[in-house]
Amino acid sequence: MKIPVKALEPGKKVRGVTVAELGNRNRPLDMVVYNKGGKSYVLMANSARGVMKISTDNISTIESIESKISDKAGLTYETIENLKGVEQLDRLSDSLAVVLSRATPESTADLRSIDLP
C-alpha cells in the first residue's frame, strides 16, 4: 500500500493505493526496508507465505490494484526459502537483520542475525 505522506494530517482521512497483493489469508507480521546492490527492497515476514523479499522497483509508477484478485498481483517478490517460522524481524545494520523464529508453534523461539538477502 502506498500512502501519500504529504497528505497525512491530524484528523484527516487519507486513501492509500494498493500496489501488491501477496496472497489470500496472508497477514504481514513485520517488514523492514533496506538497500542492497544499489536497489531498494522490503523484507516482510508474514503469516502464511514465509519471508518475502519485495523489490521496490517501479513502486512509484506501478498501476494500483482496484479490483478483487484471486491470487497475486502488483509488485513482484521472492520467497526466502531458508527463513521458515519467522515471527518477527528487524534491521540490525545495513547488511544484517535479526529474526525471531520457531521450527513449530510449540517449539522454543530462536533469535539470530542473518545477512539481508
Checking if the pLDDT of 107 tops 90, the result is yes
pLDDT tens digits, residue range 73-100?
888 899 999 999 999 999 999 999 999 9
Q: Tell how far CA 60 is from the center of its chain.
A: 17
**The predicted structure's pLDDT at residue 66:** 85
In this structure, what C-alpha cell is assigned to residue 12?
484527516
| H/E element, 96 | strand 96-101
| pTM recorded for the entire structure | 0.83
In this structure, what C-alpha cell is assigned to residue 42?
522490503
Instruction: For the chain, give the mean pLDDT.
Output: 91
In this structure, what C-alpha cell is assigned to residue 50?
514465509
